[in-house]
Structure 1
Amino acid sequence: MARIVLNTWGSHGDVDPALALARGLRARGHAPVLAAPAFYRDVAAAAGIASHAVGPEFDPTDTALVRRIMDRRRGSEVLLRELLLPAVEGAFAELDAAADGADLLVSHPATFAAPVVAESRRLRWASTVLAPLSFWSAHDVPVLPPAPWLKQLEALGPWVGRAIIGASRLATRGWTAPLDRLRARLGLPRGAHPFFEGQHAPALVLALFSRVLGAPQPDWPAHVVVTGQLLYDAAHGTALSPALEAFLDAGPPPVVFTLGTSAVLASGDFFPESLAAARRAGLRAVLMVGRERLAEFASANADDAIAIAAAPHSQLFPRAAAVVQQCGIGTLGQGLRAGRPMLAVPFAHDQPDNAYRVTRLGVARTVHPWRYRAARVATALRALLDDPGYAARAAQVAAQVRTEDGVATACDAIEALLRGEEPPAARAGGAP
C-alpha cells in the first residue's frame, strides 16, 4: 500500500478528476490524500477520501473573483499573478506538511509548489494535465484566449508554433518571481519555466483527456500516458430531481444549457438569450443556472423550459438533444461521452482551445460569448440538429471515448512508477 498525495486546485473541473483517481487508487488498496483548498473538504469526505487543506484558499462561488478569472483577455493573468503565484510560499508549507510519509506526489498544472516539494524532499512525482493546451505543442498550437487568430498561422509550419510559444515564455517569465524566490530560499536552482516544461514530471505525465481531443505530438515531454477522461460528478448529485425527471418525460429531448461551475458565475445574458433562442428554434430547454440565479429564472418554468441549479451531467446529458456549454474540460468530457451534438461557448483559459478541438472533430459548432444572441444561437442549434452528420459523428466519438478507462489507465501507470517500471502505454518524447 502506498500513501499518495494528490495536489489539485481550481473548480470542480479540476478537483473531480483528482477524486476519480483517488477513488481508483483506494480501490486498489492505496491510501490517497486529496491536497486541495479547504472548500473541498466535505466533497472529499463524501467521496470517502482523506484530505489536507492546501491553498491558496479559493471559494469557487465567489462571483466577483470568478468573473475576473473568467475574463477572456486577462483571466489567466489574474489567476496566475494575483492569486496563485503570490501564495506559493504558503502552499509550499502546507503541501510539504501533507507530504510527510508520502510515497508519491501527484501534481496539477496550477499547483506550482508541488514540483518544489518533490524536489526538496526527493519524493517520487507524477504530474497531470487536464487538457491538450498544457503541452504547448508547436505541432498542435493551442488557441490562446487573448489572440485566438494565432492558431491560423499553424499552417506555416512548426517554426511558427515555436515562435509563438517562445514569445509566451518570455512574456510570462517575470510572473514567476515568487516561485523563484522560494526555490532560492531552499537552495534550489531557478528551474524550468513552471507554465511550460517545468510543470511536467520527468518520470510520468498523465494526460487526463481522451485521445480524440489530442494525439501525442513529437514535442510532448517524455513518459506521457494519455489515459482518457477521469469523470466523477457525484458531488453534483446522484440522481435527477423529480421535477427534472418529469420535465424530461413530458416531451422530446431538450437542449441543455450549462456553463459548468465557474463560468456560470459570469453568465451575463447567457441564460435569457438561451431561453429565447430555444423558443425561437422550437426546442425545449433545460437551463442550469446555478443556485445564485435560480430564483431569477423561476418564471422560466413551463412546458417547454425548466430552470435548475445543477444536475449530474452524466445522467442529464445523454437525455438531451444537444448540449450548449462552455467547454471546461470536465463538462466537455461528459458531453463527449454522452454522444450528443454540442454548441461551444468558450470563455477563457483552455476553453477556446477545447472548443476548437470538438469543432474540428465534427461534433460541435462554436458561438463566442460576445456574439451570443438569441437569433444567432437559434440558427446554430437548428444547424446542429437538422444536419444528421453531427449526431452521427457525436455517437461515433462517444463510442470511442467509452472504450477508454481513464481511472484504470492512470492507476496502472502510477503503480508501475511506484515499482520503478516504465509506465504502460507511455510514449517517450521526441520523434514518434
Structure 2
Amino acid sequence: MRVLLLGMGSRGDVQPLVALGERLRRRRGYAVSLAAPADLGHVVAGSAVDFEPFSFDLEGPLRDGLGRDSLRGSATYQVREARLMRRVMADRAEALADDVTRLVAGADAVVSGALTFDLVDALLAGAPKPHVYAIFAPVWPSAHGESVALGLVRHHPSPLNHWWSSLAGRVALDLFRPAGDLVRMRKGLPRRTFRSYSAAANRTPTILGASPVVVPRAPDWPPAVRQTGFWFRATPEEGPTGLGEEVERFLAAGPAPVHVGFGSMPTPDPDAVVRGVVDVLRALGVRGIVSEGLSGLSLDRLGAALPPDVLGVGPTRHEELFRRCAVVVHHGGAGTTAAALRAGVPQVVVPHAADQPYWGRRMADLGVAAAPIARKDLTPARLRAALELALSPETRRAAYVLGERVRAEDGAGDAAGLVDAYLSRRV
C-alpha cells in the first residue's frame, strides 16, 4: 500500500512527516511518498521516504521579499501575516490543486496537514480512500486553556476559549480554502461551509503530534483526535552530525553558545534584530550562533563590528545543534519548540504569529523559559532579561528534566502504529 504524506507549508510542516514516513516504511512496510514545496527537498533528502515535489517553491518567495515587504512598516504583524498567508495560498491554489489531484490519484491512503485537509477532503468526496489528518499544535477548539493554541483564558476552562478557538478555525478555513474551493468548483460541488468543514474534521482520524507532558489532552476533544509525543527522526548512534566543519570548529572552541533564529518567519528589520542580539550577547559575555532563516538574520552587514565569538549559519539540523547549545532563542514554531524541548535546554520564545504565542506561554508555564516576548516588543533589554533567566541554574535544571521526559517518547513510532491500525481496519 502506498501512503501519500502532504507537507504543504514550511520546514516545520515537513520534517515531522519525514519521521512518520520513515517509521511507516521501515517498521510497517508501507511504500511512502512525501509531497512538499520543491525548495524543501533538502528536508526529505537522505531519508527513507520518496520525495514528490510540488510544482512551486514556497520559502524562496518569502525569503526574496514577499514576506518582508508584506510586513514592513506596521506593528500589526499578525494581521499582515494572515493577509500574507491568504495571498500565498491564493497564488498557489491552481498549482496546488493540480499537484495534489495527481498525487492523490496514485496513492492508496493520504495523510494531510492543516493547509491541505480541506483540499484532500474535497478530492475524496464520494471516494473510499483512507484519509488521516496530522496536526502538530493543539488547534482543535477546546474550553481548556492549557490545551488549545488559540484561547483567551490560559490556565482555566472557559467557554471563551472554545468560542475564540472556533473563531480562529473559521479564519483558518478562509486562509486555506482556495485550492479546495477550486476542486469543488471543478467537481460541481457547493462551496464548503464552516459547519461542514468542522463535521468533516470531526469524522476524520486525527493525530496530534505533541507530547502530552507539554500539551495536556483536553477532555472535550472529539474521539477522532488521538495524541502522541512529538515526531522526530531516529537519531543514528554514530556517524557525522551533519553540522559542517565550520560549526563543529566553533562549538569545540569554547563554551556552549546561545542559538538565535526565527526559522521561516519573515522579519521587517532583520539588521536591527541582529545588531541587538550581538550587543546583548557581548554584554552577557556569552557566545552565539545566529541562524539566518527566512528572517534574513545575516551577520554579513556587521563587517568589522562582528565579534569573533558569534557565528552566522544557514540551515542546520536543529536536533543536532540544539543539544550543544546553552539556550535556544526562537520564534515558537511547533517543530523548533519540540526540538529545543528534546535537547533539554532553556529557551527564549519570540512569538510571531498563529500558535507561537501558545508555545511561548507553555514554555514559561513549564519553567524552561521566561515569559514570551512578542516580536513587536523585542528589545535588547527584554532579550537580556529573558536570557539571564534562561541561563539560571533553576531554568537549566527544569529544561533538563523535561527533556528527559520528551526523549523517552517515540511519538513518530506511536503515530505510525495508529496509522497502520486505521489502514488495516479499512483494508
Inter-partner Cα distance in structure 1 for 2:276 and 2:270: 11
Inter-partner Cα distance in structure 2 for 1:382 and 1:178: 46
Helix, strand or coil for the counterpart of 1:106? strand
Name the aligned partner's letter for residue 278 of structure 1.
L
Does the CA contact (< 8 Å) of 1:92 and 1:117 recur in 2?
no
Helix, strand or coil for the counterpart of 1:420? helix
* Deviation for aligned residue 1:51: 3.0
Instruction: Please list the CA deviations of residues 235-279 of structure 1 after superposition, one character each: whole Å capped at 9, or x if unmatched.
Output: xx9422333222222222221112124347864522211111111
* Deviation for aligned residue 1:56: 6.2
Helix, strand or coil for the counterpart of 1:51? strand
Inter-partner Cα distance in structure 2 for 1:252 and 1:102: 49
Inter-partner Cα distance in structure 2 for 1:286 and 1:333: 19
Name the aligned partner's letter for residue 49 of structure 2.
I
Inter-partner Cα distance in structure 2 for 1:232 and 1:195: 35
Name the aligned partner's letter for residue 214 of structure 1.
V
RMSD: 3.2
Matches within 5 A, 1:243-392: 243-263=246-266, 267-290=270-293, 293-297=298-302, 299=304, 302-365=307-370, 366-386=372-392, 388-392=393-397
Does the CA contact (< 8 Å) of 2:77 and 2:352 recur in 1?
yes
Matches within 5 A, 1:6-405: 6-28=5-27, 29-41=29-41, 43-54=43-54, 57-60=57-60, 62-63=62-63, 64-67=65-68, 68=70, 72-85=77-90, 87-111=92-116, 112-132=118-138, 134-140=139-145, 142=148, 144=150, 151-152=152-153, 155=156, 157-168=157-168, 176=177, 179-180=180-181, 182-183=183-184, 185-188=186-189, 190-191=191-192, 193=194, 197=198, 200=201, 202-232=203-233, 238-263=241-266, 267-290=270-293, 293-297=298-302, 299=304, 302-365=307-370, 366-386=372-392, 388-405=393-410
Of 247-256 and 315-324, deviating more is 247-256
| Compared CA separation, residues 4 and 343, structure 1 to 2 (3 A) | same
Normalised by the size of structure 2, how large is the TM-score?
A: 0.85
Inter-partner Cα distance in structure 2 for 1:61 and 1:251: 37
Task: Give aligned-pair identity as a percent.
Answer: 28
The match for 2:412 among 407, 410, 431 is: 407
* Deviation for aligned residue 1:19: 1.5
Instruction: Please list the CA deviations of residues 361-402 of structure 1 after superposition, one character each: whole Å capped at 9, or x if unmatched.
Output: 11111222222222222222112223x221111111111101
Name the aligned partner's letter for residue 270 of structure 1.
V
* Deviation for aligned residue 1:128: 0.7
Inter-partner Cα distance in structure 2 for 1:78 and 1:246: 42
Inter-partner Cα distance in structure 2 for 1:194 and 1:262: 31
Normalised by the size of structure 1, how large is the TM-score?
A: 0.84
* Deviation for aligned residue 1:203: 4.4
| Compared CA separation, residues 51 and 173, structure 1 to 2 (3 A) | closer
Structure 1 unaligned runs (5+)?
Answer: 145-149, 422-432
Inter-partner Cα distance in structure 2 for 1:300 and 1:420: 62
| Compared CA separation, residues 178 and 304, structure 1 to 2 (3 A) | closer
Inter-partner Cα distance in structure 2 for 1:341 and 1:8: 29
Helix, strand or coil for the counterpart of 2:226? strand
Q: Which residue of 2 aligns with 1:427?
A: none
Instruction: Please list the CA deviations of residues 6-58 of structure 1 after superposition, one character each: whole Å capped at 9, or x if unmatched.
Output: 11211111111112212222213211111222223454354343233446642
